[in-house]
Amino acid sequence: MSNTNEKISRQTYLALLAAALLSFTGILTETSMNVTFPELTKVFNVTLDTVQWITTGYLLMVTIVMATTAFLLKKFKSQSIHLLAAIAFVVGDIMCATSPSFPILMSGRLIQAIATGLSTPLMFHIIFNKIPAGRIGSMTGLAGMVISLAPALGPTYGGTVSSTMSWRMIFWLILPIIVISWYLGSRYIRIDPVGTGGFDVISLIFLAATLFSFVFGVSKAGKYSLLSGQVLIPFVIGFISLAIFIYSDTHGKTQLLDIRILKWLSSSLSAFTYFVLQFVNIGVSFLIPVYCQYVLHSSPFIAGLVLLPGSLVGAAISPYAGHLADSKGYALPIILGLSSMTLGGLIFFGIQAVLTAWIVLLNYTFLRFGFNMGFSNTISNAMLNVPRKYTADVNSLFSMIQQFAGSIGVGIMAAVMAISQNNGTGSLAARSFVGGKYDFLLATLLSAAALIAAVINFRLQKRMKLNIEESD
């Protein structure tokens, strides 16, 4: 195994802290605004399905911006990218805090999303360029802790601030964190660009159209028939846009990101595993509070609280999962994590009839343990199995996959629940029970598929390593 005692400089730690603070704050605001939706519908006189685009639109913009980071990290100094992200966050934050209308609030959120879309890949870029190979697992584990802890604390932060002060204070109170990040980044982030060709605007446009079309189509699936034009047309547009994006990105003179990294089976299997991990994690995190309120008749406070212990345990386990990967190899924590997620989903599905808030809390904690054992280690393993010149592309692609998986996971699980509630028979609780059953089954099957993909992946990697050793 790699040497886990290699030294990391103080400058690298502070550079990572700068990127992590910005990433943490951006992700924190993703979920902190969710609890303010009922109030915002009254303040701005808009409907709930309009207000939810504060989060959905934010996530889409983050995903689109992440797709550009493979180019940006090769073309520009990392310090300049961090500066741009910090400025974007401050501008968007002030727009949100002072917004007199919903369009201004929405615009501010989209500008903030630019910052998050840049800062999270930048954090991993620093790790893969400045951290010794023997410490990468541990440091991506810490990065995973940041990504896991922020959305867990978001609803608590947003709910506390909005109920004791004002929803606008959600934005004012985080400004000092961005100033600290800005200062640290200007002093300690030092990674020079490696140079690249031009920027593929056409690919970016069609990638954005792809992501928006799929998310929009899924958002309509719960209200309309799956064969209706409102659902089918966005999906048709999405698939056409995806085909154009793939052709443009692989045949043009310039590239948005080099998706040819997926021609390696190991990279494709890792990408699928990473997608499923985040799909199930965010999807189930949405499902559980809804299920607890509709089926178990829990209060909104209890429904949200059942997620907190699992989120905290998961965040705490991330650094250990990375250390385990550094010392024992990536196969152990990733396969253990996916096995735990599969078993956790199966428990939810199998004992659904006797679920209580306490059982949900305990099993969700077990499921989140599995997620955090595998999440950061999957991207680390993918990075270490491609030539170094492709690390920026893997970083950008996997960061994009992470965000898209979360948004589409919520959309699909919400659609399944809505279809059951709108078309089933019996009480609302009984209809929600059926929707929950299908969602738990979906989470279990996807986790099992990702587990199989991971097993195949590590057997493939082992075979490749043996072939290299024999050729030497």
* Domain-wise residue ranges, the chain: 9-197, 200-253, 261-471
Lowest mean pLDDT among 131-135, 300-304, 391-395, 410-414: 300-304
Nearest to 396 by CA among 258, 263, 266, 272: 258
pLDDT tens by residue, 138-193: 787 777 777 777 777 777 788 778 878 888 998 999 999 999 999 998 888 888 77
Beta-carbon count within 10 A of 87 CB: 15
Confidence of residue 196 (pLDDT cuts 50, 70, 90): low
| pLDDT for 195 | 65
List the single range of 66-75, 231-240, 329-338 with lowest mean pLDDT: 66-75
Q: Please report the pLDDT score of residue 182 as a whole number.
A: 92
Distances from the Cα of 43 to the Cαs of 47, 102, 106, 302, in angstroms? 11, 9, 14, 26
pLDDT for residue 405: 87
Residue 111 pLDDT exceeds 50: yes
The answer to whether 9-197 and 261-471 have equal CATH topology is yes
Structure confidence by residue, pLDDT tens digits, 289-299: 778 878 888 77
Instruction: Considering only residues 386 and 453, tell me which one the structure prediction assigns the higher pLDDT.
Output: 453
Q: Compute the average pLDDT of residues 206-233.
A: 80
Q: What is the pLDDT of residue 285?
A: 81
Q: Within 10 A of 224 (CB to CB), how many other CB atoms are there? A: 16
What pLDDT does 1 receive?
A: 45
Mean pLDDT over residues 375-404, rounded? 81
The predicted pLDDT at position 197 comes to 60
**73: which 2 tokens?**
């990290």
What's the gap between Cα 202 and its chain centre? 25
Q: How many CB atoms lie within 10 A of CB 190?
A: 13
Q: What is the mean pLDDT of residues 311-326?
A: 84
107 band by pLDDT with thresholds 50, 70 and 90: very high
Per-residue pLDDT at 254:
63
Average pLDDT on 66-77 reads: 81
Q: What is the chain's mean pLDDT, rounded?
A: 83
Rounded Cα distance between 384 and 128, Å, is 9
Query: In sequence order, what DSSP letters do the residues of 74-102 get, joined into one string?
Result: HHS-HHHHHHHHHHHHHHHHHHHHH-SSH
Angle between helical axes of 78-98 and 102-130 (0-180°, round to 10): 160
Q: What pLDDT sits at residue 310?
A: 87
Contacts 24+ apart (CB under 8 A), 354-357: 355/295, 355/296, 356/296, 357/292, 357/296, 357/298, 357/302, 357/306
Q: How far apart are CA 281 and CA 374, in angstroms?
A: 11
In the structure encoding, which two tokens stand for residue 281, read together? Answer: 């994690």
Q: How confident is the model at residue 48 (pLDDT cuts 50, 70, 90)?
A: low
Confirm or reject CATH 1.20.1250.20 for domain 9-197, answering yes or no.
Answer: yes
User: What would the mean pLDDT of 244-250 be, rounded to a whole number?
Assistant: 82
In Å, what is the CA distance from 240 to each residue of 69, 216, 243, 260? 24, 15, 5, 19
pLDDT tens for 419-471 read: 887 787 788 888 889 888 999 999 999 999 999 999 999 998 888 776 555 55
Instruction: Indicate the helix (H) or strand (E) that contains 126.
Output: helix 102-130
Mean pLDDT along residues 226-250: 85
Please list, in sequence order, all residues whose beta carbon lies within 8 angstroms of the beta carbon of residue 102, skipping any fewer than 6 positions away.
40, 44, 46, 50, 51
pLDDT on residue 29: 84
Which residues have CB under 8 Å from 365's CB, separation 6+? Answer: 309, 310, 313, 314
**Closest-CA residue to 372 (of 216, 221, 148):** 148
- When pLDDT is cut at 50, 70 and 90, the band that residue 472 belongs to is very low
- Which one of 1.20.140.10, 3.40.50.1820, 1.10.4190.10, 1.20.1250.20 gives the CATH number of domain 261-471? 1.20.1250.20
Q: Per-residue pLDDT for 194 more than 90?
A: no
Residue 40: pLDDT band (50, 70, 90) is: confident
Predicted pLDDT at 253: 66
pLDDT of amino acid 90:
94
